[in-house]
Amino acid sequence: MHTQRGYAGTVGDLKDRRAQKKAQTRAHVRSVAQQMFAEQGFDAVTITDIARRADVAAQTVFNHFSTKEELFFDGRVPWVHGPADAVRSREPGVPPLTALRDYLVGLVRRRFVELAGSDAQTYLGTIETSGALLVRERELVHESERLLASALHEAWTAADRSDAAPAPHDPATAATLTAATWLAAVRSLIVGQRSRIHQGACPREIGEALGQLAERLFDAMVAAIPELEARIGDVTLPPADRRTPRAS
């Protein structure tokens, strides 16, 4: 019995050490790559270059990151999962849109505080000079929308809802539209001001002003929901598996 326990403990320790080493390698490769991107530009750096400086095989890089774009953004885009996580992790009794509003307002403010640093400005400059990174950034935006729509739909259709806010008549459509419009608003506020940072504007002042604007904008959007629901009425999209009968 003691031998079996000792063996199980040894195997567990080995797995833990392997997982730790794997995480360390991933973090090292990411750090080296992101430093090279900042120094040389994204398009000028190859996977081979990264592997050489990180002192690993090129295949090791690919074992951790499927593309160079994934390497660039890794650890830098909490906003992809953040909105959905805010909805799912809200306190009991808090309506989904209240949790989402608070998260997004905070995101706007935090984002511009982060932009006060030179590293963040280099990061943005690298994105805006690379077509591949701009494409990947748009893909991440769509991924964030998809995740948020799923979280909202789950929240509005949950059997154990504890908040008093009414659920939309058509939760699936409302979730998709809400995710698209709310995240588009935030992206417009942030991206629209990025060039002003490069021109010397104070990031903290912009962040505070945009935070206030975001608060008012989302409050107005929440307040407009009852009227929108009334205008839409009982219009509901048909289920995806319903097929139009063929004419005989």
Indicate which CATH number applies to the domain containing 40: 1.10.357.10
Nearest to 156 by CA among 100, 208, 231, 230: 100
Residue 62 clears pLDDT 80, i.e. is over it: yes
Q: What is this structure's pTM?
A: 0.82
> Does residue 246 lie within any of the structural domains?
no
List, in order, residues 6 or more apart from 54 with CB less than 8 Å away.
28, 29, 32, 33, 61
Q: What is the pLDDT of residue 117?
A: 73
Query: Do both 66 and 94 map to the same domain?
Result: no
Query: Do both 69 and 97 map to the same domain?
Result: no
> Does residue 230 lie within any of the structural domains?
no
Query: Do both 136 and 30 map to the same domain?
Result: no
> Does residue 160 lie within any of the structural domains?
yes
Range of the domain at 58: 2-73
Mean pLDDT of the chain: 87
Query: Do both 69 and 87 map to the same domain?
Result: no
Q: How far apart are the first and last CA of the chain?
A: 74
> Does residue 247 lie within any of the structural domains?
no
Domain boundary among 18, 47, 73: 73
167 membership: H or E segment, kind and range: none
> Does residue 237 lie within any of the structural domains?
no
Residue 211 clears pLDDT 70, i.e. is over it: yes
Query: Do both 67 and 122 map to the same domain?
Result: no
Query: Do both 69 and 91 map to the same domain?
Result: no
What letter would DSSP give residue 227? H
Q: In angstroms, rounded to a whole number, what is the distance separating the alpha carbons of residues 162 and 83?
A: 20
Domain boundary among 46, 73, 100: 73
Query: Do both 63 and 107 map to the same domain?
Result: no
Amino acid letter for position 89: S
Query: Do both 174 and 59 map to the same domain?
Result: no
Residue 14 clears pLDDT 90, i.e. is over it: no
Name the phi and psi angles at 32, rounded to 5: -65, -45
Count of the separate structural domains present in the chain: 2
Query: Do both 46 and 113 map to the same domain?
Result: no
Q: Structure tokens of 154? A: 């789950």
Q: What is the pLDDT of residue 248?
A: 46
Name the phi and psi angles at 10, rounded to 5: -65, -45
Name the phi and psi angles at 241, rounded to 5: -95, 5
Q: What is the pLDDT of residue 29?
A: 97
Q: What is the pLDDT of residue 227?
A: 82
Q: In angstroms, rounded to a whole number, what is the distance separating the alpha carbons of residues 229 and 174?
A: 10
Query: Do both 200 and 117 map to the same domain?
Result: yes
CA distances from 107 to 71, 79, 215 (A): 23, 8, 11
> Does residue 97 lie within any of the structural domains?
yes
Query: Do both 99 and 68 map to the same domain?
Result: no
Query: Do both 104 and 200 map to the same domain?
Result: yes
Q: Structure tokens of 102? A: 């608070």
> Does residue 10 lie within any of the structural domains?
yes
Residue 107 contacts residue 79 (beta carbons within 8 Å): yes
Polymer length in residues for the chain: 248
> Does residue 243 lie within any of the structural domains?
no
Judged by average pLDDT, the poorest of 60-74, 133-147, 192-206, 226-240 is 226-240
Q: What is the pLDDT of residue 115?
A: 74
CA distances from 149 to 39, 90, 172, 173, 233 (A): 37, 16, 8, 9, 21
Domain boundary among 73, 91, 108: 73
